[in-house]
Structure 1
């Protein structure tokens, strides 16, 4: 048998809250940061358009095993919307399709239509999205001038708040479920107002437990890389912060042993339902569990072993 190839780079474990700059894709940002950390393994937790800036959590090493939970988490956005124009992409990067007058539309009119887009609503995904249709990404079809049928999807807008209004543009703060297309939301609000709209600026300010959490810029990472690995690793958050809003369950030695063997265990005073963070003595995070109908906690994703 051949010799196993040793992984390239450092064994880095943790989560980096990157403030992604405008103008680069999420994958380009990930590869840049991974290179600066000289990390063996890293992944991001849901793409941001090149037009968008803001929070892009990057998972290193064993943290990549929790990336799906951040992908499924609620998101917070700050968006600037321009009324009176629709574009091919729903944002400022597209060509203008139509211009309509916006006279008489102010704060009162905008606030009056927002409630119809709050709660559980149906959205038709935009053509300029990464969803696949018959094996092809929609945005690739859109660039070829092909319009594909898209099925509406249910998403949840937990809250929206209208911010500043400047001429034909206004700021909107959105707290939403995964799968929400903010460009589509802006377009739909514009149609409800009778004038059309598109996104001119978009920033993600929160993902799951990281709502309003300080972010790290690309410049800060480059500076830390010049100082060495210790400075880089100081930018990382512990892996379990990805689930910081979940209840914690601490296991004794026996319970930890059987749970690692794949068996559900009884834990006194544990939550009676839902997902939990699992810790073995003294306070070592070992993964994710779920409370079963009989009250026992079953292992769902354990982080023991290498990244």
Structure 2
């Protein structure tokens, strides 16, 4: 007989987790889900096990809006080991080439400048992008290489931090879908010595405040303290969550009267006096401005529902 499924609780919001090194994003996600005893959880773009830093985890109805964080800009601090190239472009891979470091500071700056702005990037074989339904890394682990199309990425800022011996440290502000490992590998080839990532930290996702990040150790400590004091862990944990609508705060707000919002919740496009002329909008209801989901301005200038939350207790 199968064991009855344990029922979690309905909790809605975004946790800004400071992921530690050595754990997969999915492992961290499952631990957070257990700590919060949440019914539903999802992360917003995986970090490699080697990487640390900001990993927004959406709980409950916030999972419906995780795509907007996947599409957002990211900021990273990276340290590269010069003179060595690996098959995965990071320290977890096998060494495939070793060459002397022979470039000048001027050559380094010229090479770095080639990555600024919008450029094509061919994703690494050791990535989660799929080819014929399978992640690329599965092919790579079997020694296979499959064709990958270059994708446009934008590096808004590439800041030189330091170059000491065989270590190069950079800070990179980039668009969605940018592989930092690939930038470092490509840079190493431009410099003629090879390079791979030995340290990677995601500093920021979108405009989320860095000071709101928490670690798994901090979450576990709050959980254990609540259990020791025989009180509900939610009293300590839930205040750590960013609002459910935080992934979509960049979109203009359309506030609807409750009676109008009722029609929208039934799937009907509605007229709204304060709506923009086009594009996606963030919809709120009533004087309390309760977030009810995302909509899009249709061809008739009405707000059409696109992704709505279910009724929930605030």
The corresponding residue for 2:151 is 153
Which of 191, 199, 202 is the matching residue for 2:200? 202
Distance 1:131 1:47, change over 3 A: same
The corresponding residue for 1:298 is 304
Taking structure 2 as the reference length, the TM-score comes to 0.90
Cα distance in 2 for partners of 1:211, 1:191 equals 35
Cα distance in 2 for partners of 1:93, 1:288 equals 40
C-alpha deviation, 1:162, in angstroms: 1.3
Q: Deviations over 1:42-96 (max 9, x none)?
A: 1111111000011111111111111111112221111111221111110011121
1:100 paired with 2:106, answer no
Distance 1:213 1:264, change over 3 A: farther
Which ranges in structure 1 are unaligned for 5 or more consecutive residues? none
Tell me, yes or no, if the aligned pair for 2:261 and 2:285 is still in contact at 8 Å. Answer: yes
Which of 291, 300, 311 is the matching residue for 1:285? 291
Which of 223, 248, 262 is the matching residue for 1:257? 262
Cα distance in 2 for partners of 1:110, 1:272 equals 47
Cα distance in 2 for partners of 1:121, 1:27 equals 30
The corresponding residue for 2:120 is 122
Cα distance in 2 for partners of 1:209, 1:264 equals 31
Cα distance in 1 for partners of 2:217, 2:32 equals 11
Taking structure 1 as the reference length, the TM-score comes to 0.92
Cα distance in 1 for partners of 2:295, 2:6 equals 29
1:241 paired with 2:239, answer no
Q: Which runs of 4+ in 1 moved over 4 A?
A: none
The corresponding residue for 1:144 is 142
Cα distance in 2 for partners of 1:46, 1:242 equals 13
* More divergent stretch after superposition (36-45 vs 253-262): 253-262
Please provide the CA RMSD for this pair. Answer: 2.0
Q: Deviations over 1:119-167 (max 9, x none)?
A: 2211111111112233332212222222222222222222211112222
The corresponding residue for 1:65 is 64
User: Is the partner of 2:100 in helix, strand or coil?
Assistant: coil
Cα distance in 2 for partners of 1:67, 1:158 equals 23
Which ranges in structure 2 are unaligned for 5 or more consecutive residues? 227-232
Cα distance in 2 for partners of 1:105, 1:201 equals 23
C-alpha deviation, 1:18, in angstroms: 0.5
The corresponding residue for 1:39 is 38
Cα distance in 1 for partners of 2:5, 2:23 equals 31
Q: Deviations over 1:178-234 (max 9, x none)?
A: 211110111111222222211111111122232645311111101121222211112
* More divergent stretch after superposition (10-19 vs 151-160): 151-160
Tell me, yes or no, if the aligned pair for 2:80 and 2:184 is still in contact at 8 Å. Answer: yes
User: Is the partner of 1:209 in helix, strand or coil?
Assistant: coil
The corresponding residue for 2:178 is 180
C-alpha deviation, 1:115, in angstroms: 2.5
